[in-house]
Amino acid sequence: MDDNFREPAKTKASTCPACGGELLFDPTEGKLKCQYCDMLYTPEEVEEEWRKKSGGAGQEDIEEQASDESEDVIRSYDPVEFEEGEMKSYSCSTCGAELLADQTTAVMRCPYCGNQTIVEEQFSGSIRPDYIIPFAHTKDEAEEKYKSFYNKRFLLPKSFKTGNHVEEIQGVYVPFWMFSGRVHLDGNYVAYDESKDSNGKKHITARFQVRRRGFLDYENVPADASKRMDDDMMDSVEPYELSGLKDFSMVYLPGFMAERYDVSEEECQERAHERAKGSIHDQVIKTIKHDGIEETDEDVRYEGESTKYALLPVWLLVTKWKDKTFKFAMNGQTGKMIGDLPVSAFKLLAVCIPLFLAIMLALVTFTDQSTMSAFFVGLLVSGITGLIMYLSMKSVAKAKAADNYITNPLNLTLKEEERISGLKARKIKKEMRNNRG
């Protein structure tokens, strides 16, 4: 036999005990449903059926055995290295056909028999996820949510409503690293108070050196661990209701695509840390009761961190309009829909120009402001209004904080303030800039 020959890796199919038809997880029922006879089975019943077929071994035993048989076992939470475009051979557990997929594919549909098949080794032994949140929304619900998401948007081009076509809707269990721990912040600030003179011009009346030190606890801050997924989009479908986390079981997978992580824990940790840092920074700043802050110098550290590996549900939608592709995503648990919609420039100008003219006319007619002053005020107000309306059409953004995953109020261990002169303020600000870099 050729030394380079490798036996195709094993897969698992989910079949109905009553008729042998394909079992898929039904989000509406929270059970697995036979696509032929409509029988429903709880996850526990399907796990028991799998135990019987495997000679009484439990799921963890089956997965550990699959892991031992694999030549590609990766230790839990170790970095994963992949060859670009590398493919792997699998054997369909229903018809025996040989299937090819990349190194991260965990659930696929056999093109020969049509059944979904689960790659056991992707969820086995040392790379087995800790948790999963099952899908709670169906494909039809995802499509309806998408339609209602764009249907009442005033700035949407009229032709988008009638001309966009959904090319693909796919439910995917996306791999996530979830981080829990404590973030500490030691901050030094120069703050100020101000007042207005008789002409309405602002002047700084006092400066203060402010010290704050404290900590926050965070739990299960998620960061997607798939190179195929857009990080900003995965941030935007949050939050998940973490009370819905269940111990991982492969029985929730049939009917959906799933992947193994291919972004390391360390890379995702950096993103989670930035979010935790954003939350403690925001909360500390709120404790500084002055009109503004001129300079900031913060030292942040993390301790007691633990990591979990989970699969979280996302519906991905791809639409076409005027030869352009638009991507949308829906949280498969909560139903939150996000995506960037096209904006009609004509509709935007139809709001901003009349608003600009109305403000300018009102200021010139009913106040003593000059035409030039009224022009700039009108331009500013209409510009801000237009920007707000434009941004309302764009719901995909990088998460800058972890507020939904903070488990306790800010605990301040140091709170000091001292009024300082302008000369001392300049000296402190220079020192703070030097400390930063």
Residues 145 and 100 in one domain: no
Which phi and psi angles does 104 have, rounded to 5°?
Answer: -105, -10
Tell me, yes or no, whether 314 and 231 share the same domain: yes
Q: Rounded to the nearest 5 degrees, what angle is found at the Cα of 388, between the Cα atoms of 386 and 391?
A: 105
Question: Residue 286 above 50 pLDDT?
Answer: yes
Phi and psi based region of residue 234 (left: phi greater than 0; alpha: psi -120 to 50; beta: remaining)? alpha
Domain total in the chain: 3
What are the Cα distances from residue 44, in Å, to 31, 49, 117? 9, 9, 19
Residues 169 and 316 in one domain: yes
The pLDDT, as a whole number, for residue 163 is 82
Quickly count: other Cβ atoms within 10 Å of residue 297's Cβ: 17
Answer yes or no: do 335 and 350 share one domain: no
Task: Report the C-alpha gap between 319 and 160 in whole angstroms.
Answer: 10
Quick one: what percent of the chain has pLDDT higher than 90?
58
Task: Note whether residue 2 is domain-resident.
Answer: no
Residues 192-207 have a mean pLDDT of 86
| pTM for this prediction | 0.82
pLDDT at 85: 53
Asked if residue 355 and residue 378 are part of one domain, the reply reads: yes
Range of the domain at 356: 345-391
Q: Are strands 292-321 and 131-132 parallel, antiparallel or unpaired?
A: parallel
In a domain, 5, yes or no: no
Kindly state whether residue 177 falls inside one of the protein's structural domains.
yes
Q: Name the residue among 179, 253, 264 with its Cα closest to residue 218.
A: 179
CA distance 311 to 172: 9
Give CA–CA dist 354/203, Å, rounded.
35
pLDDT at res. 148:
93
Q: Are residues 61 and 193 in the same domain?
A: no
Instruction: List phi, psi (to 5°) of 260.
Output: -90, 155
**Closest to 211 measured CA to CA, from 186, 230, 228:** 186
Instruction: Select the more confidently predicted residue: 44 or 105.
Output: 44
How far apart, in whole angstroms, are the C-alpha atoms of residue 144 and residue 130?
32
Q: Is residue 363 part of a domain?
A: yes
- Domain-embedded: residue 404: no
**Is pLDDT at 280 greater than 70 in this prediction?**
yes
d(CA 67, CA 120): 8
122 and 229: one domain?
Answer: no
pLDDT (average), residues 394-402: 94
The verdict on residue 407 lying in a domain is no
Is the pLDDT at 145 greater than 50? The verdict is yes
Helix residue ranges per DSSP H, 37-78: 43-53, 59-69
Report residue 369: phi and psi, to 5°: -70, 145
For residues 269 and 349, membership in a common domain is answered with no
Residue 382 has pLDDT above 60, yes or no: yes
The amino acid at residue 17 is P
**188 & 231 share domain:** yes
pLDDT grade for 104, boundaries at 50, 70 and 90: low
Does 66 score more than 50 pLDDT?
A: no
Query: Helices marked H in 152-289 — which ranges?
Result: 158-163, 231-236, 265-286
- Token duo for residue 118: 């689960």
Q: Could you give the count of Cα atoms lying within 13 Å of 44 in the half-sphere of its Cβ?
A: 1
Inter-residue contact 344 to 155 (CB < 8 Å): yes
User: Are residue 262 and residue 280 in the same domain, yes or no?
Assistant: yes
What per-residue confidence (pLDDT) applies to 69? 38
Q: Do 63 and 124 contact (CB within 8 A), yes or no?
A: yes
Domain membership flag for residue 134: no
| Interatomic CA distance for residues 364 and 373, integer angstroms | 9
pLDDT greater than 60 at residue 340: yes
| The predicted structure's pLDDT at residue 62 | 44
Q: Is residue 294 part of a domain?
A: yes
Most confident of 31-45, 115-129, 149-163, 263-277: 263-277
300 and 371, same structural domain?
no
Residue 58 predicted with pLDDT over 60: no
CA dihedral 287, 293, 295, 299 (to 10 degrees): 20
- 426 φ, ψ (degrees, to nearest 5): -65, -40
Q: 353 and 316, same structural domain?
A: no
